[in-house]
């Protein structure tokens, strides 16, 4: 059963014990990203770099428009 509760249980089980509660959102996002890549058969590092390059390109275009 893939419910929000089971996902949250999985995330909580994988958290490092000394992580601050304020950082949970980042670890949840990381787990969700990895799970989505795994489900689609993607390499997580390559997908991450693709997303970063897309953000970088869009930001560099914004800077060029301002100049």
For 62, the domain range is 4-66
Distance CA 59, CA 16 (A): 33
Enter the tokens of residue 27. Answer: 């670890």
Contact 11, 20 (CB under 8 A): no
Residue-wise pLDDT for 16-27, tens only, equals 666 677 877 887
Residue positions counted in the chain: 67
Sign of the dihedral through C-alpha 25, 30, 35, 37: positive
Q: How many domains does the chain have?
A: 1
How many CB atoms are closer than 10 A to CB 46? 10
Query: Model-level pTM?
Result: 0.62
**38-51 confidence digits (pLDDT tens):** 999 999 999 999 99
């Amino acid at each position: 059963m893939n419910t929000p509760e089971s996902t949250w249980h999985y995330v909580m089980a994988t958290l490092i014990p000394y992580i601050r509660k304020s950082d949970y959102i980042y670890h949840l996002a990381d787990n969700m990203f990895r799970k989505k890549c795994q489900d689609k058969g993607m390499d997580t590092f390559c997908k991450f770099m693709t997303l970063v390059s897309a953000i970088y390109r869009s930001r560099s275009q914004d800077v060029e428009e301002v100049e």
